[in-house]
Structure 1
Amino acid sequence: MSESVEKTDTLFREQQDRYRGTVFLPKTSFPMRGNLPKREPEILAQWAETGLDEQIREAGRKAERIFTLHDGPPYANGHIHIGHALNKVMKDVINRAHRMDGAEVRYMPGWDCHGLPIEWKVEEEYRKKGKDKDAVPVLQFRAECREYAAKWVEAQREDFKRLGIQAEWDHRYVTMDFSSEAQIVEEIGKFLLNGRLYRGLRPVMWSPVEKTALAEAEVEYHDITSTTLFVAFPNVKDPTEGHKLEGVSAVIWTTTPWTIPVNRALAAGPEILYSVIQVTSVKEGSLVPVGAKLLIAEDRLTAFAEEAGLNAYNVLHSLPGQALEGAVFAHPLRGRGFDYDVPLLLGEFVTTDAGTGLVHMAPAHGHDDFMLCRAHGVEVTEEVRDNGTYVEWMPELGGVHVFKATQPVCSLLTEVREVAQKAGRPACGLMAQAEIIHSYPHSWRSKKPVIFRATPQWFIAMEPREGDEGGPGLREKALNALEDITFVPASARRRLTSMIEQRPDWCISRQRSWGVPIAVFVEKRTGEVLRDAEVMARVVQSFQERGADAWYDTDPAIYLGEGRNPDDYDQVFDIVDVWFESGCSHRFVLHQEGVNYPADLYLEGSDQHRGWFQSSLLESVGAEGEASYKAVVTNGFVLDGQGRKMSKSLGNTIGPKDVTETLGADVLRLWVLNSDTNEDLRISKEILKQQGELYRRVRNTLRWLLGALEGFEAEEAIPLGWEDVSAPADKVLHKLFPEDAARALRYKTTEKARKALPLLEQYILHRLYELYQRIQEAVQTHQWNGVYPLLHNFCNNELSAFYFDIRKDCLYCDPKDSPKRRAARTVLDILHRALTTWLAPALVFTAEESWQARFGTESSVHAERFFVPEDGWHNPVLIEHWELVRQVRRRVNTALEAARREGLIGSSLEAQVILSLTPEEQAASEGVDWATLCLASEVHLQEGSDADPVQVRRADGQKCARCWRVLPDVGQNEEHTHLCLRCVEAVSA
């Protein structure tokens, strides 16, 4: 470097230092790094100290409308998991958005505290200590369950608060409150008195481990390997005349060998064609006797021959299923204590999808079996105990657990086959055995398989019953109610509808200790349940005073009243299904003053179509005559980054605490809002890292806005056309009024003012108008998918990479009071208010930090309304205009980058651009400052040239020590010889 060049550079740097203080560089206390794990708890503490929730609650009472989202109660049995976080964040965003849209929001969080989830945990502690639960007095056990649940209610409440969830935390509901227990039993009483509650023997899903009935929602499905059997039942009576089955054996197929001993009938499809075959040759190892005559569906012959090892057989004759009606077969274990006949019945549910087209019926252990056998007077016997073992008097198998019965059952079936074969009798017993992997129901608590088991249970009838209140049944009423309910996504409507259409009567009884008892009496002599409104009223009053424990230590005579002898009645101690309890929650939440009934919204995971959505619908329709909700939103499940279900064994779980302690709750909330919550979601450390990067970009946008607005005062806002709708026109046009007046402040743009604004500012205001329309759509539809990705893209692509990039020169270097700078700062003020309020429902901590960095800690963004753009900002013509301009700008940027790589220029401010435009582009250029737009020192326009549309040269003139533009007018001022004339004006002001 020559000595003269070095002196020139030194002098320029000295001049830069001289003018550095005159450049309006961004200044803000809002840090670049969020440090959310530390900062968020501080903000929570500040909210608690200032009583923000109480302030919001009080302010909400002035609202003209109420919005109520009824909270589905999670179980209080452990810290919250990521699914809880997903669900609560979605609810919080919707609640906050409605509040900032002008509604009073009523949101009382709740917890489910009864039933197996709690009882099972307490029993686990007993087992660790070697204690016998059955030896503990029931009230002591219930007290320990209550204590356990109370601990976790408090723990989960703090977990949810840490996520920034806003709720009436001191007005929460739990199902174990005395008032809740009283209202639950009152709801049971309504079904009792309207005739829908009855006791009956029905097969229900039963957990042998937990010794209780389970609801469908308490069951999950896992693949297991089961032994499959083909079993022959020898005929003992022909069906109708003309169809002889003498010597023929019906063959069934089953995946549950343990149900063979409790078989009571066979079923055939009336429209299925059946064949009688005679086996002529078998493969080595086949169990089927040569010469055996077997009855099998024609469509299943080939598959059966393959699976049973048949080489050849003859079809003797065929007959339709309806011709089999009246046939009777022997139980395959006849001679081993099972000496009864097995009738063949016709069932529409029988198919030829698998097996033999003939189904064996164990009426105590299957819904179809039960319904068909009961309709034909076949006895339903209880031969499996609550722990899953056969009764002691079961021949050969007494005391054997059903899940260990496969081998002994197969042995018995093998023995009877061999005896029949030696005696020359028709085929009987085991014909083939194999294994199959299939989906099977398991208890989601114990993770053990369940069985269907017929036991006396309490049911709510889905169809009209004798003594019912009249009119349509519960099923029909529920289906009618669904027609007026909004579903998000819309496809969820069919899912819930089909479940209501197909569900059997609702089994509401459980054989446990912790919960609300089905507080009714049954007359011993008749077996009839006592339906007396006065008795039920006394029970409800007792529960109000002492809770459900009163049922266990109160003299039944007090409830029964005068004229009834307690010795004549059985007191029922089954507890009610927890789904019925949570379904009742609308009674102790939505019927309070100032709360909407029905609720505006229920929002839970998609599994709640068979859980809370359904139980709430059936309970409210059955007791109140209408649905308890107007709309239902569902979210998917959370999977790991590879799409697998989370489990501790896989080591792929991520808890909310893991995220809040490393990245912060706002990053977790952003993950929720950037996901398609209608489908299953994925989460992993890498996905969260990506969300952290998205968060950083949004935060940087807010930071730059705050920095660029440093020192912004009301008087600086451009006066032309901007008016405060709450103040006379001759007053300050844009002022930060305190308290309520601040929220009343609105920018209002006249047509004249809008056209006077620079085109770029007009475009930004139009984009804000469009974004707000999308936010309004989300508020009304509860569908927030895609909203926050739009806001992120706006911040990143249209502000940081475009608008801010272009306006930096004007904001930093223009004279303080230049019209263009004031217009830009006015729009930045709008942007900050709009973005901060629009981001507040999702990024609750960051939005608060951004708001208070500008307006002070005495204020809160969460006490504000959404910023509402004016209709006058809507100008869709600008979209096409600016898309064309931006296409040209991208061409120029490409050429500037090439010039930098070639060493022609250093920065773009050293460039002079010769820009060739088409006539269409020329027309769009009116009012466009191309030099500012392209970050060049000079841009000259000429008519379009396909050969060289963009030419880059070194700009003429000298480099300004303040704005760094290379311009011919640098040095023309004698006092400021290193400045351009614009900068001279700025420093001289």
Structure 2
Amino acid sequence: MTDTQPGATTERDYSNTLFLPQTDFPMRAGLPQREPEWLKRWEDMDLYKMLREQSRDREKFTLHDGPPYANGNIHIGHALNKTLKDLVSRSMQMLGYNAAYVPGWDCHGLPIEWKIEEQYRAKGLNKDEVPVNEFRAECRTFAEHWVDVQRDEFKRLGINGDWANPYLTMSFDAEATIASELMKVAASGQLYRGSKPVMWSVVERTALAEAEIEYQDYESDAIWVKFPVATQLWADQAPEEKLLDASVVIWTTTPWTIPGNRAVSYSSRIAYGLYEVQSAENDFGPQPGEKLIFADNLAEESATKAKLTFKRLADVSADELGAMTLHHPLRGFGGGYDFLVPMLDGDHVTDDAGTGFVHTAPSHGADDFEIWMAKGRDIAAKGIDTTIPFTVDDAGFYTKDAPGFGPDAEGGPARVIDDKGKKGDANQRVITALIAANNLFARGRLKHQYPHSWRSKKPIIFRNTPQWFVYMDKDLEGKTLKSASPADSLSPGGEGWGEGAFATNSGPDTLRTRALTAIDATKFVPPAGQNRLRSMIADRPDWVLSRQRAWGVPITVFVNSETGEILKNEAVNARIVAAFNAEGADAWFAEDAKQRFLGNDVPDTENWTKVTDILDVWFDSGSTHAFVLRNKEKWPDLKFPASMYLEGSDQHRGWFHSSLLESCATNGFAPYESVLTHGFTMDKNGFKMSKSLGNTIAPQDIIKKFGADILRLWAATIDYAEDHRIGDEILANTVEMYRKMRNSFRWLLGNLAHYKPEEAVAYADMPELEKLILHRLAVLDGEVRAGYKAYDYKRVVNTIANFMNLELSAFYFDIRKDALYCDPISSQKRKAALTVLDQLYSCLTAWLAPVLVFTMEEVWLERNPGETSSVHARTFPEVPSEWRNDGLAAEWAKIRAVRRVVTGALEIERKNKVIGSSLEAAPIVAITDPELAKAVETHDLAELCIVSAISTQLHTFSSQQFFSLDEVPGVQVAFARAEGTRCARSWKVSPEVGSDPEYPDLTPRDAQAMRERVAAGLSV
């Protein structure tokens, strides 16, 4: 039986007497044109509010939105991220939770400020000549524009959320809470002002955090530099003659840091030797007879670099190195390098590369700074100045602390990096000076991964600057993390730590230990994210909070200009928070801000200085839990901590990281219970998308061509935990998957036009085939729920798609077409099939609603045209436990195995054009496997194989041709044509056609169907 009848063997056309599918559901989706209609429908009914009201008493599941940056159209990464978040929220809502979702935006920071500065430069204006709050107002307007643009683009993806009431880091209440969180950190003693080497963007004129750094290929100048031995100042014994005319050799890829050198580090775990030059073939550098000290493992490699041959003279012990002092390699240059350089034993020194010695410039490296500070007392005790120089300014120029290269130098100060991120002349001028001092051992170039600003894409430098930090390792005096879950009642913006957040114990309580403890209590999807975040927290330095910019939340503290003490005054803090709530952070920059906030509560106001730095934007976004999740008045359906944070894997160093530190600093625990990460979207060839490569794929273009549901289906079927691909072929496969599912729904809807709820058949009265399908629904119910709970959308969609294609379209639907189209009105089989179709419709529309949000609404409304609610207001249907029947499924697995052999045999005959339709066949089946024979003996095998007749036997074929399958042993099929006449209505071939004189061209079943139609007054 087929859906269409191209011709009949009799003159009469019975097609209008069949129960053929009837539906207006179009085969062609037209998603780009129709999806906006459903968006408007949801907006008109206020679907988000409807869901909140109907689920207010349910358990809360809160996915907290990591804020995208408001500075441009969304890209494919945004689309994937937001779709995954929507899949989580929608599926948890349909699993029975109150899954509120509040979208948000990150609105402060350098990229927006940089755009406004570009506009100023284009007009010949100087940002610094404009009142700061006028400049900030322009930044705010810019961010507002892009928030509106991105909101429309996200809504077009079908994302359901509180779009009318999102959170913005630049809203006044948010700025007030961010400032409040910062003041909590200050009040707890975790905030301090220090001078450390930080990552500095010359292009952007600000300090950067690790989260704002990416590593790119870069070619650096590499130099090997000689530090002549001066004396063994710290040794009790007399100077070793063998070392007094020797030099220690270092290697560095930052020649510009040599003026900042103050020490050389070695390792007592490494073997060192004294080497003498035997021959030299270089234009500069060591000559025969010079003595040099190297790590033994690196001496020969270093000699090759300088085109030398060496002779090893003696061991050099760690004690000898520790007692040694060196001359600066620029001694005599510029009049500023005539100081002694100590040797420091450092754990960071290895003999993997270089020379086994590390040039130590505490102004320009974290390890350099740490060892200089750790050895400070010893260095000072020997009369060496421990002052850390500021050799490079914010624009990348040398300062007066780099004599001979700074403002006093001939030709002006050398520059490390210029405003466009290009190398300046600093490296070459230092190299030239080293050659003149006869202290350059060798030079070269090295291609390696070097830190660049995430935003400007330009290289950064490390420079010592005064900044505001949060301690990672300061013991907070006995306050430590409870093992119990935090309460959900912490008040937004409240003072103190949050009642019940801490318990006292004897162990150290630091921000690092809190964060590591919190990581261990958090679920990570995939699990590898836990170790990644843990390793970052375990190794990270103190958190740099300050930025030297204008657009952001200021560091709202006052500092005593004499003592450096931070003001801790609750009344002052309260005034700041109140002003920010009313006016925003601009209040801090008003002319009267200092007196206004200090008021009469602080004596000697002239001794207190208002800090003008702004906060790192990661502190802004890291504080979102405080002004979103804990804001019960504004968003009562959210919970704190959040059930989940979900972002790309790069956010282990970004939002996951800063949110963890901020919440642990102010609450003592993580702001999330679970963390889900996804990979990055590559092009079809696996390359990173780039405008310069021309391989970007915009989500807007996909939606315009295919519709948002196709993009959502792609997102749900990739392995999102890994980096993944998108391209024309991949999208074509997604479209094909969608087309098959849509056609299945179209067939379902068409047949359900004949379904009458009052004629539904009870489970106990159903044929086995219907019970089998209901069993499969019961099994799928568990698999779908488990898949959604595990956030495994690929498994969910593939499970459903395979069921629809292989078990429904290619099996159940195919078999039941005959009964559904041709059976009499009274047929129990037909009614049972329609009952099962109704259950299939109910389950499938719900299970796929989180993925195909538009199409499932269309399918739902096609059957419920006057519906005022939505498919998305449903929960997943409760499937009766009695439907689960594993014994029945096992028996039907045997029946389907036999059927597979029969259909395989018929396919050969069809391909050879022996038959056109399987109804022309009456195959003979030999079943020698007794279990298979028993399984099929009580079933209408002809109906199941969609043939007009079938016969079975127990012996094998001897002379006839037969067909078999290796995977189904014990079954053979021989082809035979069906005997009799073809029924003009059902097209079955049967000798019974003509046995009913009233309908001589029909089978008895079809004749009875005609009689019932006549009795019912239906068309005949």
TM-score of the two chains, using structure 2 as the length reference: 0.89
2:305 corresponding residue in structure 1? 307
Q: Select which of 357, 382, 385 maps to 2:393.
A: 385
Task: Tell me the secondary structure at the aligned position of residue 774 of structure 1.
Answer: helix
User: Aligned pair 1:985/2:1008, yes or no?
Assistant: yes
CA change 1:829–1:577 in 2 (3 A) is: same
Q: Give the alignment of 1:943-962 within 5 angstroms.
A: 943-945=954-956, 948=962, 949-962=972-985
Between the aligned partners of 1:365 and 1:233, the Cα distance in structure 2 is: 19
> Which amino acid counterpart does residue 671 of structure 1 have in structure 2?
W
User: Aligned pair 1:896/2:909, yes or no?
Assistant: no
1:939 corresponding residue in structure 2? 950
1:973 corresponding residue in structure 2? 996
Q: CA deviation at 1:846?
A: 0.2
Q: Give the alignment of 1:178-577 within 5 angstroms.
A: 178-238=172-232, 240=235, 241=237, 244-283=242-281, 285=283, 287-310=285-308, 312-337=309-334, 338-377=337-376, 378-392=386-400, 394-398=402-406, 399-403=413-417, 409-410=427-428, 412-414=430-432, 416-417=434-435, 428-464=438-474, 472-553=509-590, 554-562=592-600, 563-577=602-616
2:690 corresponding residue in structure 1? 647
Q: Select which of 883, 891, 908 maps to 2:918.
A: 908
* 1:224–1:440 contact (8 Å) kept in structure 2: yes
* 1:119–1:145 contact (8 Å) kept in structure 2: yes
CA offsets 1:15-72 (integer angstroms, 9 cap, x no match): 2x2x1111111111111111100010111112222332322222122x3311111111
Q: CA deviation at 1:763?
A: 2.0
* 2:260–2:402 contact (8 Å) kept in structure 1: no
CA change 1:684–1:668 in 2 (3 A) is: same
Q: CA deviation at 1:889?
A: 1.9
* 1:603–1:634 contact (8 Å) kept in structure 2: yes
Q: CA deviation at 1:413?
A: 4.2
Q: Select which of 15, 26, 30 maps to 2:25.
A: 30
User: Aligned pair 1:680/2:723, yes or no?
Assistant: yes
* 1:195–1:468 contact (8 Å) kept in structure 2: no
Q: Give the alignment of 1:573-588 within 5 angstroms.
A: 573-588=612-627
Between the aligned partners of 1:880 and 1:11, the Cα distance in structure 2 is: 40
Q: What is the aligned residue count?
A: 935
* 1:69–1:601 contact (8 Å) kept in structure 2: yes
Q: CA deviation at 1:619?
A: 0.8
Q: CA deviation at 1:13?
A: 4.6
* 2:256–2:426 contact (8 Å) kept in structure 1: no
Moved more, 883-892 or 210-219: 883-892
Q: CA deviation at 1:857?
A: 4.3
CA offsets 1:447-466 (integer angstroms, 9 cap, x no match): 11001111111111111258
Between the aligned partners of 1:505 and 1:401, the Cα distance in structure 2 is: 28
CA offsets 1:765-822 (integer angstroms, 9 cap, x no match): 1221222212222343334342111111111111111111111111111112311111
Between the aligned partners of 2:281 and 2:939, the Cα distance in structure 1 is: 90
* 1:95–1:105 contact (8 Å) kept in structure 2: yes
1:766 corresponding residue in structure 2? 775
Task: Tell me the secondary structure at the aligned position of residue 621 of structure 1.
Answer: helix
1:422 corresponding residue in structure 2? none
> Which amino acid counterpart does residue 373 of structure 1 have in structure 2?
W
Between the aligned partners of 2:722 and 2:178, the Cα distance in structure 1 is: 34
Task: Tell me the secondary structure at the aligned position of residue 105 of structure 1.
Answer: coil
Q: CA deviation at 1:118?
A: 1.4
* 1:286–1:309 contact (8 Å) kept in structure 2: no
Between the aligned partners of 1:405 and 1:171, the Cα distance in structure 2 is: 47
CA change 1:565–1:814 in 2 (3 A) is: same
* 1:602–1:631 contact (8 Å) kept in structure 2: yes
User: Aligned pair 1:801/2:799, yes or no?
Assistant: no
User: Aligned pair 1:97/2:108, yes or no?
Assistant: no
Q: CA deviation at 1:467?
A: 8.0
Between the aligned partners of 2:607 and 2:957, the Cα distance in structure 1 is: 103
* 2:414–2:424 contact (8 Å) kept in structure 1: no
Q: CA deviation at 1:302?
A: 2.1
Between the aligned partners of 1:979 and 1:124, the Cα distance in structure 2 is: 83
* 2:10–2:1001 contact (8 Å) kept in structure 1: no
CA change 1:518–1:643 in 2 (3 A) is: same
Task: Tell me the secondary structure at the aligned position of residue 791 of structure 1.
Answer: helix
Moved more, 756-765 or 579-588: 756-765
Q: CA deviation at 1:228?
A: 0.8
Between the aligned partners of 2:948 and 2:714, the Cα distance in structure 1 is: 42
> Which amino acid counterpart does residue 431 of structure 1 have in structure 2?
F
Task: Tell me the secondary structure at the aligned position of residue 846 of structure 1.
Answer: helix
Between the aligned partners of 1:543 and 1:407, the Cα distance in structure 2 is: 46
1:745 corresponding residue in structure 2? none
1:83 corresponding residue in structure 2? 77
Q: CA deviation at 1:510?
A: 0.5
Q: CA deviation at 1:290?
A: 1.4
* 1:257–1:405 contact (8 Å) kept in structure 2: no
CA RMSD of aligned residues (A): 1.9
CA change 1:618–1:904 in 2 (3 A) is: same
CA change 1:191–1:537 in 2 (3 A) is: same
* 1:194–1:467 contact (8 Å) kept in structure 2: no
* 1:196–1:468 contact (8 Å) kept in structure 2: no
Task: Tell me the secondary structure at the aligned position of residue 438 of structure 1.
Answer: strand
Moved more, 868-877 or 156-165: 868-877
Q: CA deviation at 1:409?
A: 4.4
Between the aligned partners of 1:886 and 1:322, the Cα distance in structure 2 is: 83
CA offsets 1:698-733 (integer angstroms, 9 cap, x no match): 111111111111131111211x34xxxxxxxxxxxx
* 2:328–2:341 contact (8 Å) kept in structure 1: yes
Between the aligned partners of 1:43 and 1:822, the Cα distance in structure 2 is: 33
> Which amino acid counterpart does residue 618 of structure 1 have in structure 2?
L
User: Aligned pair 1:165/2:174, yes or no?
Assistant: no
Task: Tell me the secondary structure at the aligned position of residue 899 of structure 2.
Answer: helix
Between the aligned partners of 2:70 and 2:607, the Cα distance in structure 1 is: 39
CA offsets 1:355-406 (integer angstroms, 9 cap, x no match): 0010101111110000111222232111101011111563332222114778
* 1:675–1:681 contact (8 Å) kept in structure 2: yes
Task: Tell me the secondary structure at the aligned position of residue 333 of structure 1.
Answer: coil
Between the aligned partners of 1:412 and 1:577, the Cα distance in structure 2 is: 34
* 1:912–1:953 contact (8 Å) kept in structure 2: yes
CA change 1:984–1:466 in 2 (3 A) is: closer
Unaligned runs of 5+ in 2: 1-5, 377-385, 407-412, 481-507, 963-971, 1013-1020
* 2:254–2:427 contact (8 Å) kept in structure 1: no
> Which amino acid counterpart does residue 466 of structure 2 have in structure 1?
P
Task: Tell me the secondary structure at the aligned position of residue 646 of structure 2.
Answer: strand
Q: CA deviation at 1:930?
A: 1.2
> Which amino acid counterpart does residue 844 of structure 1 have in structure 2?
V
Q: CA deviation at 1:329?
A: 0.7
Task: Tell me the secondary structure at the aligned position of residue 912 of structure 1.
Answer: coil
User: Aligned pair 1:666/2:709, yes or no?
Assistant: yes
Between the aligned partners of 1:863 and 1:637, the Cα distance in structure 2 is: 32
Task: Tell me the secondary structure at the aligned position of residue 215 of structure 2.
Answer: strand
Task: Tell me the secondary structure at the aligned position of residue 201 of structure 1.
Answer: strand
Between the aligned partners of 2:938 and 2:116, the Cα distance in structure 1 is: 75
Between the aligned partners of 1:587 and 1:410, the Cα distance in structure 2 is: 50
Task: Tell me the secondary structure at the aligned position of residue 453 of structure 1.
Answer: strand
